[in-house]
Structure 1
Amino acid sequence: MLRSATFPFFLLLVIALLASVSSVLSRQSTKCSPKILLFTKTAGYRHDAIPTAVKTITDLGSGRLTPSALDSSVSTATWTTVNSEDETDFEDRAYLNQFDAIVFAFTTDVDPPGVGTILTDAGVANFMSYIEAGGNFVGIHSSTNTLYASPAYGRLAGGFFSYHAGSQKVSLKAIGSSHPATSKLPNPFNIKEEMYHLRSNPRLLPSPAHVILTNATAYPDPGGTHREGKPQPLAWWREGGLLDVNSTALGGDLDGQSNYTGGAGRSFVTTLGHEIATWSNDAFQGHIMGAIAWTIMST
């Protein structure tokens, strides 16, 4: 039996030991936590939803925000978000290597290329090298409206933006139910959104896009050039061969820069997110968390 004088010392020793173990586990958890670079620089149109999107993505990754419409496979996912609009981050390949995924959210350029762009040629080269080495990519809303001078980026994203119908109330539907970004979406998923069209069909890439979200009903559309195929791709995922180019034309915009090939990582693109209010939608938050978590789960 411990003497009364010894017991407090023993208790303090146990508390100190438990605190030490907790500190080590906490550091290990922090060290192992995935990290994403959330890039929101714009050279063209700038969306009002950017600050809200940054906060939402940061809160989803930290666990401060947990949507109820969330696939169980990603319910415990966490990540650290580093938000940047500094193109010089891409001038340092070693800096990019620390991230489990690079997320382009609301990025925009000006077309024709050369009028305005978010990255220098060196920055694009480092970005593509990161992807070639197995890095992952997530594109949100206007990510396809970016880096028009880089066909390799177009292949990574799945295609380049053509035009969109005006923001309006639309009904969307998931194609299949196995992907964590769409498995918990209501059917139909009613939302106010811009409906994006592309200049080429992402399904025709050497690493074909798996389209998992499309429109459920017709909607007013002013019309324009679009070659994205049917059903209309509004969100899609790809894995492996992210930069590979066909021996035949992919639609013009995606040809060229064939020195960038491969890319064993994952790519997820969603064209949703235009409206500020959308980022408070529980189902949409589950969509975004499922997309990012699925992408970084490959690392």
Structure 2
Amino acid sequence: IHNQADYSATHSGGSLSTGGPVGKDLLTNMAGGMLSGASNSGHAEGTTKAGVSEGSLLIRDKDKQQQDVARLNRDTDNANAGSISPIFNREKEQNRLKQAQLIGDIGGQAMDVIRTQGEIAGLKAQKDPAALSQAREQLEREAKGKPVSDAAVMKQAYDNAMQQYGTGSDLQKAAQAVTGALTALAGNNLAGALANGASPYLATEIKKRVGEDNIAANAMAHAVLGAVTAQLNHQSALAGGLGAGGGELAARVIIGQLFPGKTVEQLSESEKQQVSALSQLAAGL
């Protein structure tokens, strides 16, 4: 008897968010979304053989007996060795999918925070004389002598500031890559895996997601992964928890990887915003 069992468990979902008014300036969290998915499957097979226990056989019609009884399988103890045990654990698979969904939700929230920081940076740029001057020069070069309106300058200043935060930016790609890589380990004692050597595997997964040629996004994603691993391994006296202390540890690790040799005071405003966004992602994960 051929025994075979197969199972497949999949999860696919997405997180969408819309903004609401915050403060008198009506700043809103920009609408964001992130798809998440996870799957797992299993297969087992074996063969159960017929067996005849030891004993004498009485053959009444010897003329029609074709099989040599001496060749009968007498090993009844191992005849069922090819049986298969249950391979599907419903509770384990449900927990795996729940963890994958949670990681995806956290990643979606982090991406929403990044977009919101870009919104704030864009509004600041619209009031920054240097940013406005740069935007005007940029538009005037493209216009080739045609007049450039103040509204167009304001929009360009906003777009310039938003460029490093919006959809397709290195920050967004880094958040997607590290979230996707961690989702791949969902349900397999994620914390233990990170603390005990899964980082090389995750590093490879990150490169697959952002591409080896995208140095900036790779560096950001690896910095987040390093910060998460450091928190789990308690590599700092600050790592007593994953709250404010965890965020501070994450920021220090990320600064050390992205901007080696620099202190917080030496970072530019743009660099500080990068560290802030990535450390929030690391602390959340």
The reply to whether TM is greater than 0.5 is no
Structure showing greater relative contact order (alpha-carbon pairs closer than 8 Å, 6 or more residues apart) = 1
Higher helix share: 2
Bigger strand share: 1
TM-score by length of 2: 0.28
